[in-house]
Amino acid sequence: MRASRCTIACLVTVAATALPAPAAAGGGAADADRELERPPTWSIPAAADVHRRLSDWLERASAAEPREAARRAWADEAAVPDPLDRVMLAIASVDHRSAALAADPDADRSWLADPAVDPFQRDTVRLWLGREFVRRDRFDDGLTLLADLDVGTAVDPAALLFHRAACQHWLLEADAALESLDRLLERAGEIPVRYERVARLLRADIAALEEESLDHIARRMRDITRRLDQGRAGPRTRAVQDGVIESLDKLIAKLEQQQQQCQAGGGGGGSAGRGGQGKPMEDSRLAEGKGPGEVARRDIGSTDGWGNLPPHRRDEALQQIGREFPPHYREAIEQYFKRLAAGTDSP
């Protein structure tokens, strides 16, 4: 059974927040299986390599005294076990703009778009900040920062792939999420265990999701709730709301059509044997052609609304959705009722 969406969301938060875990020990059959797989497209940098890149940046960016403070921040592994946090602290000890973001992720970050900013500093701050936004369920902001970062130059490529995939999963960018998760799992035996286990759950979940299904609609409704809880009622939120209403309209229209087809098929199935009209012609006997050649006509009415279910039948179709699908879809249906009652396209 797949994990629920709430469970997966909690696991993503835990995996994004927890301290780095040691890589799982491999051996035996697992090692043999990995030998048959294609080579990974990315590598995990050694701590010495990250330290060298940080030192090179410090030489370019600061005077001697700030460099010493930055080196002490990097060396304090006991107090700050996470390497990405240590690099961010080192950068923040030298650069006041990075220090402002480390203290408040909502501080001005427009300077990150300045081409004059050193790529090492820019990309590290973006990675750290994107991870911070994922921890706060701000997946749009997180993906904006993480989407085009280079896995090959990131100081923590596993964190980049995991948090990018978490954003894409939540925002229902299925193809992009699968690509990020598959790349992350290329090094399944080397990345932190929490990343690997949650990534497998995310992959199974997004791969099984069907577009325009009630599950898909309910997830978008949940995303709308998240956005509104964060005070975001702008064009993007309204676009998601309109998409939900459109999907519900299509789903209900499909159910109505199915009901009409069932009624039409059930009403006409036994008409040949009623009213003395005889039984169907047997396949093995030729027709003699003595009949008048006319078909019995049925009165289907002449009003313009023919083919539309009356209100009480429409209500039955909506209730059928609630009976045939799990209870957590009820929210999407109730929202649809509210939108119909309002009689407006405003969110």
The DSSP string of 163-179 is: HHHHHHHHTT-HHHHHH
| The two structure tokens encoding residue 40 | 């990974």
Residue 32 inside a domain? The answer is no
Are the beta carbons of 154 and 127 closer than 8 angstroms?
Answer: yes
Retrieve residue 246's tokens.
């459109």
60's tokens: 């370019």
Number of domains making up the chain: 2
Report d(CA 121, CA 96) in Å as an integer.
12
Could you tell me if residue 114 is inside a domain? yes
Mean pLDDT, rounded, for 197-220:
93
Query: Last residue of some domain: 184, 209, 234?
Result: 209
Tens of pLDDT, residue by residue over 229-278, are: 888 888 888 888 888 888 888 888 888 888 888 887 765 544 444 444 45
Q: Which of 209, 233, 253 is the last residue of a domain?
A: 209
Tell me the C-alpha distance between 225 and 102, whole Å. 28
Report the chain's mean pLDDT, rounded to a whole number: 79
CB 243 within 8 A of CB 220: yes
CA dist 136 → 9, 13, 71, 133, 142 (Å): 11, 8, 29, 5, 9
Q: Residue 31 falls within a domain, yes or no?
A: no
Q: Could you give the maximum distance between any two Cα atoms of the chain, in Å?
A: 110
Cβ proximity of 54 and 88 under 8 Å: no
Decide if pLDDT at 116 tops 70: yes
Residues 199 and 224 placed together within one structural domain of the fold: no
- Percent of the chain past pLDDT 90, that is, above it, reads 44
